Amino acid sequence: MSATPEELKQRIEAGIPGAAAEVTGDGHHFYAVVSAPEFSGLNRIAQHRRVYEVFGSEVGDRIHALSIQTKLPQEAA
Amino acid sequence: MSDETTNPLREEIAGAISENPVILFMKGTPDQPACGFSARTVAILQSLGRPFAAVDVLPDPRIRQELAELSNWPTIPQLFVDGELVGGCDIVTEMYQSGELQETLGLDAVSAEAAPEAQAQEAAPLSIENRL
């Protein structure tokens, strides 16, 4: 069963407290813009890891590719 | 649980990361990238004229698996500078556009002023473990 942008959005928002996500994609390649309060204490690598962690081993498998852009809540206008 | 079990392949990967100041793990080779994300990352590095080592992860699936566990990063490509994971295609692209990548690579940052001050990711001395 292929993943949908809506599913990814919901899982990111459920998996990271206070997160807001915009996800686009075709079922294989996805692009997510994610903002979350906790990102303010993390460098970019750690921010992206937080998003990848939501999906674990599904990234590279069921979710073939997930591009991520992270923002702090105040930047995400 | 990172125990100290010896794992030759993982040690070889860690060795390559610590021995090469700039090393890219990718799908395919710089001349023949096998994935669009790897191709884009190679193109950025080549445009900066900074020599880099490249490792093709495709010949043996275990390379990718060991690398992912070592770096705690699930996707390919992965760029390491001075032993530290800089990121994959998204981060490399973002840092290239802001001028941070040039800085991280020790090149003249053309548009360094435009880079957000937030975290100038200083290249730490060689360290194999990836804390963070």
B2 found inside a domain: no
* Residue B85, beta-bridge partner list: B80
Query: In this structure, are strands B22-26 and B53-56 parallel, antiparallel, or unpaired?
Result: parallel
B121 found inside a domain: no
Question: Searching chain A, which residue's CA lies closest to the CA of residue B94?
Answer: A69
- The CATH number of whichever domain residue B48 belongs to comes to 3.40.30.10
pTM across the whole model: 0.81
Judging contacts by C-beta atoms under 8 Å, the chain A residues touching residue B73 are: 45, 49, 52
Question: Searching chain B, which residue's CA lies closest to the CA of residue A32?
Answer: B90
What's the residue count for chain B? 132
Q: What is this model's ipTM?
A: 0.84
Interchain contact A14–B (C-beta under 8 A):
no
Q: What angle do CA A72, B38, B34 make, to 5 degrees?
A: 145
pLDDT at A22 over 70: yes
Structure tokens at A26: 């075709």
Count of domains for chain B: 1
B132 found inside a domain: no
pLDDT at B119 over 90: no
Rounded to 5 degrees, φ, ψ at B104 are: -60, -35
Q: Name residues whose C-beta falls within 8 Å of residue A53's C-beta, 6 or more positions apart in sequence.
A: A15
> Are the beta carbons of A43 and B89 separated by less than 8 Å?
no
A13, A20 contact by CB (below 8 A) = yes
Smallest Cβ–Cβ distance between A44 and the set B72, B89, B91 belongs to B91
Mean pLDDT (whole number) for B60-79: 95
Strand order in the sheet with A20-25: A20-25, A29-35, A65-71
pLDDT at A34 over 50: yes
B120 found inside a domain: no
Q: Name residues whose C-beta falls within 8 Å of residue A18's C-beta, 6 or more positions apart in sequence.
A: A36, A37, A38, A73
pLDDT of residue B102: 96
From the candidates A45, A54, A55, A58, which should be mutated to test the interface with B, based on the most B CB atoms within 10 A? A45
Smallest Cβ–Cβ distance between A43 and the set B73, B74, B121 belongs to B121
Which structural domain range is residue B65 located in?
8-114
End-to-end Cα, chain A, rounded Å: 33
B38 found inside a domain: yes
SS3 assignment for chain B: CCCCCCCHHHHHHHHHHHHCCEEEEECECCCCECCHHHHHHHHHHHHHCCCCEEEECCCCHHHHHHHHHHHCCCCCCEEEECCEEEECHHHHHHHHHHCHHHHHCCCCCCCHHHCCCCCCCCCCCCCCCCCC
Interchain contact A62–B (C-beta under 8 A):
no
Give the confidence band of A48 by pLDDT, cuts at 50, 70, 90.
very high
B123 found inside a domain: no
Distance, CA of B48 to CA of B59 (rounded, Å): 28
B65 found inside a domain: yes
B80 found inside a domain: yes
From the candidates B38, B64, B67, B75, which should be mutated to test the interface with A, based on the most A CB atoms within 10 A? B75
What's the residue count for chain A? 77
